[in-house]
Structure 1
C-alpha cells in the first residue's frame, strides 16, 4: 500500500518569518512520519505564495527527511535552512539508523567516491566513510543515496543491499500528474466543504485504502483546495454516484468517481470545526489519523 501526501507550494503563506515557516514545515514532516507516508509531493500554487514558495518548502522537507548524519554531506550551508534547528525530531528508525548489532541493521548512506574495481566509499554515519564492494546487479554514482546493511560495528562489517532507502521521499510536480500515478490509490481531497467524515463513510473508505493505498491532498491556510483549483464549493459534498455503475451505498460512502477535479472523494475530516481556519499540519493529523484506521 502506497501513501502519498500532497501539499501546496503556498503551505507557509501565513508564516510571519522564515523561522516560523521552517517550524510549520517541520510539523508537516512529523505528520508524514507518524502516519508512514511514502511520498510527500509539493504541488504549485503560485497565486497563493508570498515570501516562500515551493523551492523553500521542498528543500526544508528534504532536509527533514534526511538522516542527521548525512545532512551536512547532502546540503552543506543553504539559505533555506537558516532555521533548520527548529525542526522537530522525527525519531523515525529510517532516519536515526538502527542501534541493533544484528544482521538486520539497515542505514541510509551516500556515495562519496566511486573507485576502481567496483568499490565505492559510503558515508553512513559511522566514524568514517567505509569502502564497500558494489554488487554486480547494482550501479551507483557519486552523491547517490544507498542502503547499507551493517552486521558489525567493531570491527566494521557492512555491505550494499538492494532495498531503496526507507522513509518518505520529496518531489515537486503538478497536481494532475500526482493524481494520475498508477499507484495513486484512492484519491482524497480535504476541505471543510467536503463530505463530513462519519463512521459509516469511513468504514468503506478505509477498506479501499487498505486494498489500494491512497493519495491525500491538502490546501494552505486561508486558501483551501477549492480556491486553489478554482472550484465551486457547493459541488464538493453532493455524495452523488459516479457514472461507472456505483450504487447508492457507494454514493453514501462519499467515494465517487464523479467527484470534481480527478478526486474520488472530497472529505471534511474536522466536522464542526471550532476555528475559522484549520492549518495544513492540523488537517494532516486529523485526516490521516482517520484514514489510518484498520477495518478490524
Structure 2
C-alpha cells in the first residue's frame, strides 16, 4: 500500500471521528434545563386508522413530533368510559393467558404507548427490553427518532443508555451493562438484570478484571437534560383525564396546564400569556375534542362545556383553519411549533422536581 493511500485513509478516519464528535456537540443545547414539558393525548386516536400498518405509522409520526420538540413525558389517557371500565379486565385476561409472542392489543392506549416506548429506546437495547409482539410487527419500518441518546457504537457521548445483563463479574463488585459498545460497561452498583440505566461515561476509561470493560457510573435519567442534552421521553398510561393530573410523577404536580381546542381562545402573543413554569402540561383531545373526553370522566367536577376551567390556558393554535377538522397528529405539530418560543422563554432554570 502506497504512502499516499495510507495517508488518505488516515485522514478519512480522522475526519470521520471529528464529524461524529461534531454531531454529538450539535445535539447539545448551549445550556441545560431543569423544566419539563409533558404532553397528554388519548390513545383512541389510533382507532381512526384502518389497518395495523396505518396505526403504527400514526404512532411513529407522533413520536417524531415529540422528539423534535423536546417533549419529556407523554401521557396516553383513556377518554372512553366504556374502555376505562373494561381495561382492567382486559389486562388481567391478557396476563392470565400469557400470550407474550402473538398478542395484539385490543386496547388502543396500550398499543400507542408500546410503539412510543419502542421508538424512544435506543436500537441496541430493543432486543433486551422488548419481547416479540404483534403490536411491533411494523415498527421496524418507521423513521428513527435519532435523538442524542441513540448513540452509535463508535460515537463518544458523555452519556449513554444501557441495560444490566445477567452475567457475574469475577474479582470485582458491581454489574455489567450492555451500552451498545464493543465492550461491556462495568458499574460499581449491583442492579437487577434487565433494568435500563443512564450512564455517565466519563473518559471511557477501561479496567481489567476477568476481562476488559469500560468503566462508568449510573446517574439519574434527568442528568443529561440538566447538562444540555435532550434525553428522550417517558411514557405512562392514565385511565382517565383526571388521572393525568392525580398520577403526575412530579411532587408538586404540573404548575402550568394548557388545553387545546378549536373552540379555545385565540392568543396572539403566547410569550406574554404563558406563565413561568417548572412542569408544563399540554393536552390534546381525540376525534371529538377535549370536551368529549372531559364529559366521559365522571371524576371531574366540570363538564365539557366548562373545559376551559380545567386549564390555565385554553387555546386555539390554528384559527381560521381551511379544513373542517384538524387531526390530533397535525394539532401536535401546529401547537408545539406555536408554543416553542414561549416554552424556551418561560421555562424556569431551577425547577421543583
TM-score range, shorter chain: 0.7 to 0.9
Distance change >3 Å, CA 69–CA 100, structure 1 → 2 = closer
Query: 1:42-191 counterparts in 2 under 5 A?
Result: 42-46=76-80, 53-96=108-151, 100-101=155-156, 105-113=158-166, 115=168, 118-127=173-182, 130-135=184-189, 140-150=191-201, 151-152=203-204, 157-164=214-221, 166-173=231-238, 174-180=240-246, 181=248, 182-191=252-261
Which structure's CA Rg is the greater one? 2
Report the Cα distance in structure 2 between the residues aligned to 1:41 and 1:225, rounded to whole angstroms: 14
CA distance in 2, matches of 1:109, 1:36: 21
Which runs of 5 or more structure 2 residues have no equivalent in the other structure?
A: 1-34, 84-104, 207-211, 223-230, 296-301, 347-353
What does the per-residue CA deviation read over 1:245-266, in whole Å, with 9 as the maximum and x for residues that have no partner? xxxxxxxxxxxxxx33x32222
Does the 8 A contact of 1:178 with 1:184 survive in 2?
A: no
Tell me whether 1:15 sits opposite 2:49 in the alignment.
yes
Please report how far the alpha carbon of residue 140 of structure 1 lies from its aligned counterpart in structure 2 after TM superposition: 2.5
Distance, in Å, in 2 between the alignment partners of 1:51 and 1:113 is: 33
The reply to whether residue 225 of structure 1 matches residue 276 of structure 2 is no
Contact 1:192 1:268 in 2 (8 A): yes
Partner residue in 2 for 1:205: 273
Does the CA contact (< 8 Å) of 1:110 and 1:123 recur in 2? Answer: yes
Cα distance in 1, alignment partners of residues 253 and 150 from structure 2: 24
Secondary structure of 2:244's partner? helix
Shift of residue 100, structure 1, vs aligned partner? 4.4
SS at structure 1 position matched to 2:45: coil
Query: Runs of 5+ in structure 1 lacking a partner?
Result: 237-258
Deviation at 1:47, TM superposition (A): 5.6
Secondary structure of 1:292's counterpart equals helix
Number of aligned residues: 262
Distance 1:171 1:149 in 2: 25
* d(CA) in 2 for partners of 1:47, 1:191: 21
Aligned 8 A contact 1:2 1:184 in 2: no
Greater strand fraction, Structure 1 or Structure 2: 1
- Report which of the two has the higher share of helix: 2
Distance 1:81 1:48 in 2: 26
Tell me the alpha carbon deviations over residues 109-128 of structure 1, each in whole angstroms, 9 at most, x when there is no partner: 01122636532121111235
2:63 to 3, 23, 29: 29
TM-score, scaled to structure 2: 0.67
RMSD of aligned C-alpha atoms? 2.7
- TM-score normalized with structure 1 length: 0.79
Contact 2:260 2:317 in 1 (8 A): yes
- Contact kept, 8 Å, 1:114 with 1:121, in 2: the verdict is yes
Structure 1 partner of 2:39: 5
| From 170, 178, 192, the counterpart of 2:262 | 192
